[in-house]
Amino acid sequence: MENILYPPEDTWSGLCKRPLLDVPNLDKPVREILTRVKVDGDKAIRDYSKQFDKVDLEDIRVSPQEIEEAAGLIPAKLKKAIETARKNIEKFHRPQVCGTDIIETMPGVRCWRKNVPVDKVGLYIPGGSAPLFSTVLMLSIPAKIAGCRRVIICTPPDQNGKINPLVLYASHITGITEIFKAGGAQAIAAMAFGTETIPRVDKIFGPGNQYVTKAKEMVQAEGVAIDMPAGPSEVLVIADDSADPSFVASDLLSQAEHGPDSQVVFLTDSSELLLKVRNEVENQLRELPRKSIAGHSLLNSLTILFRDINECIGFSNKYAPEHLIINTKDASELAAKVVNAGSVFIGRYSCESAGDYASGPNHTLPTNGFAITYSGISVDSFVKKITFQEISAEGLGKIGPAVEAMAEAEHLIGHRNAVSIRLKKIPPSRPPLSRGRLSPRGEGVY
């Protein structure tokens, strides 16, 4: 990890830039994959599976029998853990469903907004050495709560043509039955354009490698919605002299082991803690099974010593991390100053791993600085919000003159006429009949 001491504020922008990896130009090969899948459908998926996944697929669709068999391969202890996560994720996301409130902006002018689920959504779940079955939970649960009519999953098969049983089990317990053996850019193409077997969807969700990310970017340009811009995973930790260095080191390494392109950043105002954390990182790294991956990530990572904690939070807001851990004596007060972050973890026991798996909030978050403008996945990600308005004759009589004046000022006379013609045909209002008032004795009016 690069060690930086007391950087002036005018250098912060440079330090916030994510490491640039030696990435080839992917436009041409990914475009070829998209075009081939669009033209050849299932045949292209099978050909690419043979080329990239080293497997000849007989059937792209996962059978009910495969899903049923997967459940028998999961240990009871792990099933219990997954059920804990499922319940917490559902408990956190269900209150995000909004009701429909009708607002009368002025008498006779009623307006409201209605949530309508995206009809068909596709979830991409990466395979590889660490199949992200937790991402199945994080994406399928809010999709189901939102009420999406059709939810499908694409995920790459292994060399035996099988899908990781944990991915199948997580899909099963969240009610997803349409699962397809397709990975990489070709899976994104299949969900974007449809094949004989894989249905076209309206919006695509999920993380992936650089080919998947590029494919999502390209299909978005063709009118298929995606969840958010994606980049390598990252964490930023702020800690003071009250922090346990072993806690801080473990948080940094838990993120570094995601991939060699991940970045971890440690900010502190304590030079003593900084040294202890660096030593602890070295000690813990030796014990990690994925130490090679984590070690490569650490080469692109930073430890920065600031003069005070307020500078740390200032830098963090500029960096806009995907995950932000605040491990300080006044963590709650500091958290109130956060304006840019995907998800914030407050206090010494709030490790980012809990958020990755089971605490409840979604772990699909904006990376690469996009937390400045994007939110993480929620139920809102799976719905569209349609506004309605209903204007009565009385309402048009009240709002019409304002609309006429504004339309005329913009020289849009057709807009003005749509109001004026109606106003002329509204019957004149009659004053209400006087009902009088009862006499104190109830003997008629006076």
Q: What are the DSSP calls for 285-329, one per residue? A: HTT-TTHHHHHHHHHT-EEEE-SSHHHHHHHHHHH--SEEEEEST
Q: Which amino acid, one-letter code, is at 44?
A: A
Q: Could you tell me the CA-to-CA distances from 281 to 162, 236, 383 in Å, in that order?
A: 37, 15, 42
> Can you tell me the distance from the alpha carbon of 8 to that of 290, in angstroms, rounded to the nearest whole number?
35
Strand partners, 115: 385
Please state the pTM of the whole predicted model: 0.91
> Can you tell me the distance from the alpha carbon of 181 to that of 198, in angstroms, rounded to the nearest whole number?
10
The residues of the chain that CATH labels 3.40.50.1980 are 2-18+232-360, 27-97+116-227
Check if the beta carbon of residue 185 is closer than 8 Å to that of residue 214.
yes
Q: Could you tell me the CA-to-CA distances from 433 to 282, 340, 397 in Å, in that order?
A: 88, 60, 21
- Give me the torsion for CA of 246, 252, 254, 256, rounded to 10°: -140
Instruction: Determine the pLDDT at residue 437.
Output: 47
Name residues whose C-beta falls within 8 Å of residue 329's C-beta, 6 or more positions apart in sequence.
240, 242
Mapping DSSP to helix (H, G, I), strand (E, B) and coil, where does residue 35 land? helix
Instruction: Determine the pLDDT at residue 209.
Output: 86
Residue 387 tokens read as 């506004």
Instruction: Determine the pLDDT at residue 162.
Output: 94
Name residues whose C-beta falls within 8 Å of residue 230's C-beta, 6 or more positions apart in sequence.
207, 208, 213, 216, 367, 368
Q: Among this protein's residues, is 411 annotated catalytic?
A: no
Q: φ, ψ for residue 41 (rounded to 5)?
A: 60, -130
Name residues whose C-beta falls within 8 Å of residue 146's C-beta, 6 or more positions apart in sequence.
97, 115, 117, 118, 379, 382, 383
Q: φ, ψ for residue 106 (rounded to 5)?
A: -160, 165
Helix axes of 133-146 and 76-93: crossing angle, nearest 10 degrees: 40
Check if the beta carbon of residue 171 is closer than 8 Å to that of residue 144.
no
Nearest to 233 by CA among 67, 368, 51: 368
Check if the beta carbon of residue 45 is closer than 8 Å to that of residue 156.
no
Residue 82 tokens read as 């997954």
Q: What is the CATH number of domain 27-97+116-227?
A: 3.40.50.1980
Instruction: Determine the pLDDT at residue 431.
Output: 58
Q: Which amino acid, one-letter code, is at 194?
A: G
Mapping DSSP to helix (H, G, I), strand (E, B) and coil, where does residue 438 land? strand
Instruction: Single out the catalytic residue among 234, 322, 352, 404.
Output: 322
For the chain of 446 residues, list the mean pLDDT of each consecutive stretch of 10. 95 91 81 97 97 94 96 96 98 94 96 96 86 94 98 96 96 97 97 98 94 94 92 94 98 93 95 98 95 93 97 98 97 98 98 96 95 96 96 96 98 98 88 49 41
Name residues whose C-beta falls within 8 Å of residue 429's C-beta, 6 or more positions apart in sequence.
394, 397
Is domain 2-18+232-360 annotated with CATH 3.40.50.1980? yes
> Can you tell me the distance from the alpha carbon of 361 to that of 95, in angstroms, rounded to the nearest whole number?
12
Q: Look at the chain and count its residues.
A: 446
Instruction: Determine the pLDDT at residue 231.
Output: 79
User: Taking every pair of C-alpha atoms in the chain, what is the biggest distance, in angstroms?
Assistant: 98
Q: φ, ψ for residue 124 (rounded to 5)?
A: -100, 125
Strand partners, 151: 121
Q: Could you tell me the CA-to-CA distances from 14 to 77, 215, 306 in Å, in that order?
A: 46, 29, 16
Residue 342 tokens read as 């995907």
Instruction: Single out the catalytic residue among 234, 280, 311, 323.
Output: 323
Q: Among this protein's residues, is 258 annotated catalytic?
A: no
